[in-house]
Structure 1
Amino acid sequence: MRIAIVGGTGTVGRHTVRAAEDAGHDVRVLSRVSGVDVRTGRGLDSALLGVDAVIDVTNHVTLSAKKAREFFVNGTRHVLDAERRSGVAHHVALSIVGIDGIDASYYAGKIAQERTLAEGAVPFTIARAAQFHEFAGQLLDSTRGPFAVMPKAPIRPVAAREIGAHLVRVAVSEPQRRAADLVGPRREDLADVARRQLTFDGIYRRVLEVRFPGAYGRGLASGALRGGADVLTGRITFDEWLQSEDHSAPQGSDRCDRTCASREGRCDQDAGTR
């Protein structure tokens, strides 16, 4: 089967590419590096010729609902239009567990993306997953200094590796509009996860848990992002992920220093493993 993965160089994308290749599929990785830009539609028509299924894991980090909607709606429309012209039979989009009542900030863009798919002409499946284990680290990396502010957010994080494998299984199945939600094996709190990652990486910062205001903050604090009862459950816990090859210590941390010393100066981050 020929599968195109849009955003295949990102955190979830690279695991999706690996899972598809390991399963023996013919994989096309679509990104701006390969000459494809979903914002404008550039390069999509030629990239999707002969493709059976598309997995969309594109992302745009923003807290602006307007910017999130613009990115996900316009990008999805460009991909759907190119799929229709190229005869793609199945579009799979990664979305987020529990966002139905959080039509604000970044989640507003994902909700709008789902609506755009439902209005389109290409058979589709929305595959929702919980926050991936890398999420806390991305928030930590977005700020500097002795303090790190984390929103109050009960979560059930899942490994990006397992999300990638799940997306491939969905892509090779018949379109079903909504796949079963995928969540991680344990209930966690975002602030606690961030503290454990900092401790593991040997970084000394104080994590402050704050309840964010407005609809976005209420949604995060509600526990909705943990998903419901009828879900698929991943196997890799956050602590297991910390010790795996999928997690690399930031440069300058105690653990990175130890890792680099043990590898004669070759640091995980320099090697591009994150």
Structure 2
Amino acid sequence: MTKFAVAGATGRLGRHVVDVLTEQGHQVVSMSRATGVDIVTGERLAGALAGVEIIIDVASWHASEQEAATEFFRASARNLHQAGQKAGVSRIAVASITGVDGATSGFGAAKKLHEELHLYEVLPVRILRAAQFHEFVGQMLDWQQGDVAYIPTWPSQLVAARTVAEELVDLAIAPDAPSPGAPIPEIAGPRQETLAGAARLLGARRGIKVVDADHPDFPDAQYAAGGGLLPSAHAKLAGPTFQEWLDAQP
């Protein structure tokens, strides 16, 4: 079996990636500040990568502010490649966001640069773009206080983080990389929904009233409202709908 290192292993997606790899019998090194490995400063990174064959990078910045997110992605990509090359890592698989190529500001623009930074670094890279996670809906409700939440009506094709993790692991393990010039692989849920519609389903369980809102001050709000978050025609559609996922939660 292959030895993997997962950057961002304790995060929303990282936990699922670790689970999938472990279930498949692979050896996994969990890298996050919680485990004592800092991919931004490089602290304990070299030791964590000893004997690792493949890195899966699902580490993310915790806020939408563009400059801070950009610095996080710039430092983490550089350190993963440099330390990975010294450790003999064969490649890096990276999780990204559907529609990020059209982003111009905020976290989306930082993530767009993150893709470019990885692609121009020293190790071979495979990127998987994913639609917004089902879990993101709860995060949007958490951002707002009180019993009323104002959520944008942006269309999306919400996908379960577990589904993304499975696809990302498959991409990382595949013996052959995507063909040069081929579209970047994408994963999305089985049907189009809106963030507000999904939030309304979850809000009903939490006792929160969800009100449709435009949020024109959000970064790239017009782009998102016009379908910028929707997957491309070549995207793989998989996993449960938001309602199905929600019904399966404790």
Change (3 A) 1:139 1:82: same
TM-score when scaled to structure 2? Answer: 0.93
Letter in 1 for 2:237: T
What secondary structure, in the 3-state scheme, does the structure 2 residue paired with 1:100 have? Answer: helix
Q: Deviations over 1:12-57 (max 9, x none)?
A: 1111111111111111111112210112111111101111101011
1:62-103 CA-partner distances (Å, limit 9, x unpaired): 221111111111111111111111110010110001111112
* 2:220 corresponding residue in structure 1: 216
The one-letter code matched in structure 2 to 1:21 is T
In structure 2, distance between residues paired with 1:151 and 1:202: 18
Alignment-mate amino acid for residue 240 of structure 1: E
Which protein has the larger Cα radius of gyration, Structure 1 or Structure 2? Answer: 1
* Counterpart residue number, 1:252: none
Structure 1, unaligned runs of 5 or more: 249-274
| Conserved? CA contact 2:153–2:212, under 8 Å | no
Q: Pick closer, same or farther for the CA change 1:163–1:214 going to 2, 3 Å.
A: closer
Where do 5+ consecutive residues of structure 2 fail to align?
A: none
Tell me: CA distance 1:85–1:53, structure 2 relative to 1, closer, same or farther (3 Å). same
Contact 2:131 2:187 survives alignment (8 Å)? yes
Structure 2: how far apart are the matches of 1:27 and 1:215? 36
Equivalence for 2:63: 62
Mapping 1:3-22, distance limit 5 Å: 3-22=4-23
Query: Matches of residues 135-174 of structure 1 in structure 2 within 5 Å?
Result: 135-173=136-174, 174=176
- Contact in 2 for aligned 1:131/1:155 (Cα 8 Å): yes
Give percent identity, aligned residues only.
Answer: 35
Instruction: Report the equivalent of 1:238.
Output: 242
Q: Which runs of 4+ in 1 moved over 3 A?
A: 174-179
The aligned amino acid for 2:234 is D
C-alpha separation in 2, matches of 1:153 and 1:41? 37
Tell whether 2:76 aligns with 1:75. yes
Instruction: Name the counterpart of 1:256.
Output: none
Alignment of 1:253-264 (within 5 A): none
**Cα offsets for 1:161-220 (capped at 9, x unmatched):** 111111111111134476520010010010111011111x24132323224247611121
SS of alignment partner, residue 165 of structure 2: helix
Query: Distance in 1 between the 2:220 and 2:30 partners?
Result: 33
State the Cα deviation string for residues 134-162 of structure 1 (Å, max 9, x = none). Answer: 11100111121132122231100001011
SS of residue in 2 equivalent to 1:226: coil
